Every structure is written in C-alpha cells, then in structure tokens.
Amino acid sequence: MTSSYQQQLEAKVERISAQFAEFNPPSLEVFASPEQNFRMRAEFRIWHTDDDMFYAMFERDEDNQKQVVRIDEFPITDLSINLLMPKLLEALKAEPILAKRLFEVDFLATLSGEMLVTLIYHCKLEEEWEIAAKALSEQLNIKIFGRSRGQKVILTEDYVVEELQVFDRKFAYKQIESSFTQPNAQVCQKMLEWACNCAEKTDKDLLELYCGNGNFTLPLSLKFNRVLATELAKSSVYAAQWNIEKNAIDNIQVARLSAEEFTQAYNGEREFRRLEEAEINISSYDFNTVFVDPPRAGIDDDTLKLLQRFERIIYISCNPDTLNDNLGLLSQTHRITKFAMFDQFPYTHHVESGVLLEKI
C-alpha cells in the first residue's frame, strides 16, 4: 500500500473503533480496497467550449464557488472505463448528432467485461441519433443507453450482467441502468464472503430486509433451508427475481414490501395482497437469522424491535452513525460477536461496516 492510502485507511479504522467502543465489540476485521481502478461506476458532465468538449467534474474554490475541472483520466475507476473514456470522447466529437447538446456521460463497468454507457442530452433524441448511437455501440463493443427529458432510448439492453466470486462459486447479477449497485466490486466480494462466514449452515430459514437486486441474498441462500427477502423498489424486485432464476436457486422468495410493511405483516397487524399474489405464507417460515443492509437513514424503531426477536442478526451498514444509533436498542438483547469495516470508498470519509449480533 502507498503511504497516503495506508494513512487514510488507518484513520478510518481508528475512527470506527473509537465510535463503537461502548459496545465492546471484538477486534475489527479490516477489508482494504485496491488503491486504484476500484470504482465500477463513474458520472461526468460534458463541458462544451467554442471548439472542444471534455469530461468535467466540479469542485468549490475558497469562495465556495463551483469551478469546472477537466477530467482526462480517472484512476479510481475500473481500467476498462479509463481505456474507454478517450476513445468514446473522440468518437462523440467526430459525430455532430451525438455531440450536440450532450450533457452527461455515465459509465457502468463490470468485472465480467460488460460496459453500459448512458448518454444524457438536453434535446430530443430522434431516429438520426439512434442510427449514429447504434453504430458507435458496435464500433466500441459497448451498450449505449440514451436519455433526455421524458425520453429513454434503449438500443440493445439497459443493463449489464456482473459476475461476483464468492469462495468457489460465481454468481451472476443483472445490474440495471440507474439502479443501485455496489460501486466497488472487489470489496463487495469480500463483503459477501464475510456475510456468508457469519451465517452458520442450518436447516432454519433466513429473513432478509432491503434485499435490493439480491446481492447478498444469492450466496446467503446456500446456508439456509429457505430465504424470504423483502424489497420495495419494483426494478430491484425484478432484478432480484431475474438473478435468482439465472443462478438456478430454488429456495428464495421475494416479497415486494418495505421493512415497515413486513413488520406489520409479520405481527399480523395488516394483510397485503402482494403477499397473496406472490403465494408467500410468512407463517410457514422458521426464521432464526435476519440479514439487513438498510439505506443511510438506518432502521426504524418498529423494525428494530422485530429484529430483537431473532437469534442472529447480520447487519451491513453504509452509515456508521445510524448503525451506532441502532445498536443502542439492539445491544439490549444482543451482543456483537463479529465486527468488520469495508473500505468501499477509498479517499473519502465513507465506510461500510458489518456486525454479527447474537442473542444474549
């Protein structure tokens, strides 16, 4: 590791260790990131001048004014993105219909070698644009997706298929344009393996809240008899169902419910037609473990009280502050037996954390 990356990683370890010391956790397991080429997503504004255009980002000066920063290379992103950036830009410049009023370019790369590029415009995309964009897609062997206000143009597909290695098995994941995916695929693989190591092989069932596209669901399903996973976003539910079928896994059901709605259903406070339509009978499950990977806001109090009823809680967090706050309640019934930090976002203050909680 270079000294600059090592220093920022050590600062994060010190901060997280101090923040959670009150819960007396075991030694922190630290999962570092590659120092470069770790981001699988990148978004750039396109800045137009009288005779040129270039990738741009913004930073604030000492007067808090936004300043344009020209970007010719971006070492933190995957190598495939860095190699494509100049080729794509030159091709866009060479075709006026593709360059005209182009506002933003988004890249979504995969370890499996697929690439989706979203071109976002401030004008309507006509048939002439589609013809030129399709030719560019074939020329560069990439998928291109067009967007403008109120308009989406899918030339081939609006997704890529990622492959993540978890121990000795690869899992395929559909990642849909503009939907959430883990940005650091190599650290994500470490997170998946850590979560699986937290889950003992059992004939009991797993409940997962906030399952997204099934990122953790698929490998965790191998440790349990059955899995009931919940997710509210329709696009994520669709992707999760696709991923389950693609990976030939037959012990997972996905319920389109929020965590709050599942709590109401589990407590018998409310019935949901969505469960009936999906032929999901919550009472048929024999849960002993719950897995959660909530949004930055953390988990609401009613859902936390539900979690307290399970023997084991595996909690992945993208916000240490809300995890710390949630542990205030969960630590009344559970103790931390595994504690981890995943450096998903090098050179920023952000970290992902993980705890395994077992009933006292």
Residue 23 identity: F
Residue 165: the pLDDT is: 97
Question: Can you give the pLDDT at residue 93?
Answer: 97
Q: Which of 104, 235, 261 is nearest to 181 (CA)?
A: 235
DSSP helix/strand/coil, 186: helix
Instruction: Mention every residue, 6+ apart, whose C-beta is less than 8 A from residue 7.
Output: none
Instruction: Output the six-digit token pair for 332.
Output: 């009344």
Handedness of CA 218, 328, 184, 133 (dihedral sign): positive
Q: Which pLDDT does position 1 carry in this prediction?
A: 65
Question: What distance in Å separates the CA atoms of residue 53 and residue 300, rounded to the nearest whole number?
Answer: 46
Strands 66-71 and 143-148: unpaired
CA distance 177 to 114: 13
Extract the tokens encoding 113: 């070698």
Q: Is 251 helix (H, G, I), strand (E, B) or coil?
A: coil
Q: How far apart are CA 284 and CA 277, in angstroms?
A: 16
Give backbone dihedrals phi and psi of 181, rounded to 5 degrees, phi first.
Answer: -140, 155
Beta-bridge mates of residue 53? 48
Using an 8 Å Cβ cutoff, are 207 and 310 in contact?
Answer: yes
**What CATH number labels 41-160?**
2.40.50.1070
Segment holding 312, helix H or strand E: strand 312-317
Mention every residue, 6+ apart, whose C-beta is less than 8 A from residue 248. Answer: none
At 104, give phi and psi (nearest 5°): -155, 150
Sign of CA dihedral 220, 224, 230, 233: positive
**How many Cβ atoms from other residues are within 10 Å of residue 225's Cβ?**
14
How far is residue 153 from each of residues 115, 140, 312, measured CA to CA in Å? Answer: 17, 18, 45
- Delimit the CATH 3.40.50.150 region(s) of the chain: 3-36+183-359
State residue 210's pLDDT score. 95
**DSSP codes joined into one string, 199-235:** S---SSEEEEES-TTTTTHHHHGGGSS-EEEE---HH
Q: How far apart are the first and last CA of the chain?
A: 39
Residue-by-residue DSSP string for 264-307? HHHTTS---HHHHHTT--GGG--EEEEEE---TT---HHHHHHH
Beta bridge partners of 341: 30, 353
Fold category of 3-36+183-359 in CATH: Rossmann fold (3.40.50)
The pLDDT of residue 56 is: 98
Order of strands across the sheet that contains 102-109? 66-71, 53-60, 41-48, 102-109, 115-121, 143-148, 151-154
Measured distance CA(360)–CA(342) in Å, rounded: 26
Profile the chain (360 residues) by mean pLDDT over runs of 10 residues: 87 97 97 97 96 94 88 96 98 97 98 97 97 98 97 95 97 92 95 97 97 97 98 93 98 96 94 94 96 94 95 97 97 98 95 97
Residues of the chain with CATH 2.40.50.1070: 41-160
- pTM here is 0.94
Task: Give catalytic residue positions.
Answer: 318, 352
